[in-house]
Structure formats: structure tokens, C-alpha cells
Chain A
Amino acid sequence: MSEPAASAVRLHGVDMAFGEGESRVTALKQATFEARAGELVMLVGPSGCGKTTLLSVIAGTLTPQAGEVEVFGNRLDGLGQEALTAFRRRHLGFVFQSFNLIPTLSVEENVMVPLLIQGRGHEEARAVAREMLEKVGLEGREEARPTALSGGQQQRVAIARALVHGPTLLICDEPTSALDKDTGAQILAMIRDLSRAPGRCVIVVTHDHRIFRYADRIAEMEDGRIRRVVDDPSLLEQPHL
């Protein structure tokens, strides 16, 4: 029998609220969640249930008011901004809902950004970025501006940018919401195939039930908590979510 995979992300009793007094909104209530290395976990649930906040806490862009956050053995809840920034630089890759590709830069330059942030040289970064663009099937489009590409192509650039520096945790926020059904499926298949690595964990926040089948596990959220975790994605593959 094989040993269970190591814990990649572990949240325990996380509280997160915004605002003061009467305008205070509680986004996470004693949220507890775990994702293992090598798996693709989807966070699903209705709007306002706390998915994005949970994602931000895991990414270290929000610091929770209470609870423990551990990513690949690093406790994030006690780290300062500088250490969190350095942590994101080394370990995290992002795929955003609206791509967030810089329109004034070329496709290749967009993919180079995480490498340049890490302090890699321009030429080295360019070579690595070209390799990555080839993997996502965008060879020959390196010099194009993102605005000259289709939505699916733009998201492929975003995936290349997210993976180019070899992150251990890939965070995808609604990666298919701006895409049609077929393109969304292709993108998710690509995320699953390219990010499959023994030590890497992928967390995808989505509303799109059509892509649930790409998940290893699905965590369903409700009112700031993880309501249940489902090992068989087909159980949740229904349009009501």
C-alpha cells in the first residue's frame, strides 16, 4: 500500500472578517481545509460563500484574524508582508479569472514576469518563457500582444506564466469563467496535465460544474466554512451549483 501524499495546504480554524461595527462581514468562520501534494482540488460553492477569501488566505495575500495556515510546511499566519511576498515569489503560481495579462507587453514578456521578479536574467527568462509557451501550444505567438489573442489563448498564456517558474502551489481563480464550454474544458485539461507533478498542488476556485470532472477532490463551501469534501467529482457534477 502506498503512503498517503504529504499535506500541501492545511487550514485550521481560520476566521476572516471585513469591516467594522454594523458593516462587518464575516467571510470565513472557523474554516478548515486540506489539500495534498500531487492533487487538483476544486473549491466550489455559491457566490459570497468565502471561496475567494479562502484562496487569498492560502495565497498569503490576506492574513486571517485567527487560525492556522500552513503551505508546504510553512506557517503563513505569523509571517510579515515581506516574508509572505518572498514566499509567493518562490512557491506560488496564479491563474486569474480575467487573465491579468499586461496588454502593453508581448506574450513572451508576460510569461517572463515571474522569472524576472525572482531576479533571473532577461535572456535566461526569455528562453524559459519560450519553452513554456511551446508547452501550451503558443509557439510563434511570442511577440504578439495579448489583446491579439483569443480568450482561450490568453488563458493559455496565463497558465504558462503561472507555471514558468515551477511553483509548488498553483492557484486558479475561476479560470474558465470567461471562456466558452469547449475552451474551458481544454484549459482545465491543460492545467491538469501541465501541473501534474509529484510535489505540486493545484487549487481551483470555480462555479463551472462542467469542469468538476478534472478534480481529484472537490471542497464545497457554504457560509464561510467547508461544508463537505467529495472524493468523487461526478457526485457534484450538477448544474445547480
Chain B
Amino acid sequence: MYRLALNMLFGDRGKLAMLLCGLSFSALLMAQQTSVFFGIMSWTYTPVVNIRAHVWVSDPMVEQVNDAKPMRDTDLGRVRSVDGVAWAAPLHTSFLQARMPDGNFKLVTLVGLDADTFAGAPAEIVQGRIEDLRLPNTVMIDEWGAQLMSRTEVAPDGKVTTRPLRPGDTFEINDVEARIVGICRVRRAFTGGPFAYTTYDRAKAYTLGARRTLSFMLVEPTAGVTPVELCDRIEAETGLRAWTSDTVIWDWSARSLARHTFWWFWRNTGIPFSFGTAVALGLFVGIAISGQTFYSFVLENLRYFAAIKAMGAGMGVLARMLTFQAVVAGLLGFGLGAGMAQGIGRVMIEKGMPPFVMFPQVLWATLVFILGISLVSALIGIAKVSRVDASTVFRG
């Protein structure tokens, strides 16, 4: 009977198309919105990804990577003295206004690196050399930042053009010159501002000699010591907080800075609610369209189901037929919707905006929801068919 059920479903192309529209739209909305949500949320811990270090150390009150509470420089020595530390380097991060030559201001994320080791330097440098940051008043900015801070030029013929910043261009941070000596490629951040890399000591100058500038310490464990073990030792001996740099946000036992950052944004911003609403909307639209279409499919076939019932098919057979039809429609709708979400995601990734991270869990969850919608639709149909009296077939 399953083959006949399938043929009944595929025989009515109009209804099938409508059903697939509803299901695939739901799948698309759920998968795409959830992936954009995770993409945006993955930007919240961008510094952990860009600044590669096995262990991060911060003030004990720090809750996430964008919330630096500066420590004293002497804390660096305390951490270096912990058994199991191969090396520890200072890191400064802060958000500052950069004044462009045309007088405009742009918010930049200033990253101050240890000038000896350049620990935490960008992995990919497109133009220039990291060592050039040792020159006076120099910074390296990221590609996206170079575009974001594009400068306007007026040619001798009066033609106005805009071009991305490039090595040799300058701007000011707190009235101190910042000359670009290189362009790097890093992952974009939730805050949206460009990254300006410089040395730790020069970062102090840019922040006008703030009393404390040590935002984090980047620490490497010695051979044989795991990051988690080292975190335990640092916390026990210094009273500071130590984090690992893994980015698995689902591992509840991990002391990952990325995971804490992700869930901090989850708890303290309206982003999950906003995207959750879109996902819920997808679910409800799916139930409404698919349920209604499947119900109408069942209504149109009711007399045939009654005839099949009269011929001796039990409700079990009919329920299995309807469930099979709904599940097949659900799987097709999921495939179409998830495929479209993947396609849109690919375009988004190519364009770089907005972010898009499709975890396998997102696809599984979407599949479960779509099958749930299909089963709800099937239940509605089964309820209708179960109430049909087989004797109605004799009523013309």
C-alpha cells in the first residue's frame, strides 16, 4: 500500500507543490535563520579565534572576551612563575575612536601585542610584515577595516574617488598618529569595527597612559601540561582567571573563553529571542501551510479513503498510508529547504555578510522539526479519516 500511497501523493502535483512549498519554506527559515544566528554568535568570540593562544588569563571578574578588566603589569610576572608555563605574553584590547584625515571618526578595536614575541599576531598578513610594528607609531589593520575606513580623494581634475586604506596611510588615535604598515586578514568581529594591531607598549600610548592596560595574558604550557591543567594551576596560584581557547560551545565542562563568551551573549542580549522568533515563525508557518494543505489533500481524497475503508482496509493501514505520505513530503521539503539554506549560506559566505555557520546539529534539528510538522499534518488527516463512516460511499 505504501507505493500506492506515494502515487496518490505524487499524482496530485498541485497539492504536492503547495505542500512542499510550506515545508521547504519552513525548513529554509529554520535552517537559514539558525545558521545566521550561530554565525553572528560565532563573531562574539572572534578575538579567541584571531589571537591564537592555548591559554588566556584574565582578571577574575571577566565574563567574556570582549569584556576586558585590565590587570596590573606585575601580574604577568606572577603568571610566568607558575610551574608549567612555557611563556606568557601581554595582550591589550580596547575600543577606541580613530580620527580619519577627513575628520570622520571610526571605532576601532586596538590590539596591543608583545613586541618581542608578537604572540597573538594575525595568522595571515596580506601586505607588509608584522615586524614593521616595531617602527614608531605604526599599526596593521585588517582587510575589512581597510575598506570600512576607506578614504575619499579628490583628483586634480576634480573627480572624487574612494579607496580602501593601504600601507602608508595614516589616521589618529587619541591625537597620536597611527601609520599603516601592513594589512592582515582576520575573522570579522561582532562589534563590527576594524582591528588595528600594534605593540603592547604603543597601545599604552594610544590609550593615553591608562593606569592599567593588561587586558589578557596569552600563555603557552610546557610540554606535557594540558591547557586545562595549566588553567587550574594559574587560578590556584595567582587568583586570576584562566581559560582555554577551544571554540566548542556545546561542551559544558570546558573552561573555554569562546564558550563563555557565546553564552554570555545568549543570556545578556536579545539576539536569541530575535532569531528564535524567526525560527518559531518558520515552525508555525510550516504547520499552518503544511497542515492546511495536507488536510485539504485528505478532504479531497476522503471519499476514496472511505471507499478503501469499505473495501476492508483498517484504520491502521490508512494511518500508515497517511503518515508515509506526510513523512515523504516532509523529507522532500526538508531537502529542498535545507538545500536552499545551504545555497544562500554559500552566497553569504562569499559576500562575507552576514555570517553563516550551519552546524550539523542545526540540520538535524530542522529535520526533526519538519518531520514533526509532517506528523502533525498526518495526525490531522488521520483524525479526519478515522471519523469517516465507510457507509458514506453508498450515498452517491
A46: CB under 8 A from chain B? no
CB-nearest residue of chain A relative to B309? A85
The answer, among B3, B9, B311, for a CB contact under 8 Å with A114, is: B311
Interface residues in A102-123 (C-beta closer than 8 Å to B): 102-106, 109, 112-114, 116-118, 122
Q: Are B4 and A109 in contact (CB under 8 A)?
A: yes
Q: State which of B143-151, B288-296, B299-307 sits at the interface with chain A.
A: B299-307
Cβ B394 vs Cβ A52 within 8 A: yes
Task: Report if A100 contacts B (CB, 8 A).
Answer: yes
Q: Is the CB of A117 within 8 A of B393?
A: no
A189 within 8 A of B: no
Name the prevailing secondary structure of the B interface residues. helix
Please classify how large the interface on chain A is, using the bins under 10, 10 to 19, 20 to 34, 35 or more.
35 or more
Bound form: Cα–Cα A122–B3 in Å: 9
A85, B312: Cβ atoms under 8 Å?
A: yes
A153 to B9, CA, bound (A): 24
Between A82, A106, A116, the greatest number of chain B beta carbons within 10 A of the residue's beta carbon is seen for A116
Specify which chain A residues have a CB less than 8 angstroms from the CB of B312 in the assembled complex. 85-90, 92, 114, 117-118
Chain A proximity of B205: nearest CB distance (Å): 78
Residue B152 is within 8 A (CB to CB) of chain A in the complex: no
CA distance A109 to B308 in the complex (A): 13
Of A96, A97, A112, the most chain B CB neighbours within 10 A belong to: A96
Residues A61 and B308 in contact, CB atoms below 8 Å apart: no
Most chain A CB within a 10 A radius of its CB, from B7, B307, B314, B317: B307
| Contact status B11-A116, CB under 8 Å | no
The answer for the CA separation of A179 and B317 in the assembled complex, in Å, is 33
A117 in contact with B396 (CB, 8 Å):
no
Determine if A56 is an interface residue (Cβ-Cβ < 8 Å): yes
A82 engages B314 (CB within 8 Å): yes
| CB-defined contacts of B357 to chain A, threshold 8 Å | none
Please, how many angstroms separate the alpha-carbon atoms of A86 and B391 in the complex? 16
**Chain B residue at smallest Cβ distance from A52:** B394
Whether the Cβ atoms of A117 and B303 lie closer than 8 Å is no
**Considering the chains assembled together, what is the distance between the CA atoms of A98 and B389 in angstroms?**
17
Which B291-342 residues have a C-beta within 8 angstroms of A?
301, 303-304, 307-314, 317
Inter-subunit contact A104/B310 (CB<8 Å): no
- B-facing residues in A149-183 (Cβ within 8 Å): 173-174
- With an 8 A cutoff between CB atoms, is B159 at the interface? no
Query: Does the CB pair A94–B310 fall under 8 Å?
Result: yes
Q: Is B1 an interface residue (CB 8 A)?
A: yes
B314 with A98: CB separation less than 8 A: no
Q: A94-B311, A100-B303, A117-B312 are in contact. Are A105 and B394 (CB under 8 A)?
A: no
Q: Which residues of A contact B395 (CB under 8 A)?
A: 52
Q: Does B390 contact A (CB under 8 A)?
A: yes
Query: Judging by beta carbons under 8 Å apart, are A116 and B7 in contact?
Result: no
Q: In whole angstroms, what is the CA distance A94 to B303 when docked?
A: 14
Q: Across the interface, which residues of B come within 8 angstroms of A89, CB to CB?
A: 311-313
Q: Is A9 an interface residue (CB 8 A)?
A: no
In the bound assembly, the distance between CA atoms of A109 and B5 in angstroms comes to 11
A120 to chain B, nearest CB (A): 11
Which interface residue of B11, B301, B391 has the most chain A CB atoms within 10 A? B391
Min distance, Cβ A96 to any Cβ of chain B, angstroms = 6
Q: Report B-chain residues with C-beta under 8 Å of the C-beta of A98.
A: 303, 396
Nearest-CB residue, chain A, relative to B313:
A117
B159 to chain A, nearest CB (A): 67
> Is A55 at the interface (CB under 8 A from chain B)?
yes
Contacts of A55 in B (CB 8 A): 394
B8 contacts partner chain A, Cβ-Cβ < 8 Å: yes
B12 interface contact, C-beta 8 A: yes
Contacts of B389 in A (CB 8 A): 61-62
B-binding residues in A (CB < 8 A)? 52, 55-56, 59, 61-62, 82, 85-90, 92, 94, 96-98, 100, 102-106, 109, 112-114, 116-118, 122, 145, 173-174, 205
Closest 5 CB pairs of A and B: A104-B11, A89-B312, A61-B391, A88-B312, A100-B307
Q: Knowing that A86-B312, A113-B4 are A-B contacts, what are 5 other residue pairs whose CB atoms are under 8 Å apart, sorted by A's residue number?
A: A59-B391, A61-B389, A92-B312, A98-B303, A102-B307
Please report B residues at the A interface, Cβ cutoff 8 Å: 1, 3-4, 7-12, 301, 303-304, 307-314, 317, 389-391, 393-396
A-B CB contact pairs (8 Å), 18 listed: A52-B394, A59-B390, A82-B314, A85-B314, A88-B312, A89-B312, A92-B311, A92-B312, A98-B303, A102-B8, A102-B304, A102-B307, A104-B11, A106-B7, A109-B4, A117-B1, A117-B317, A145-B11
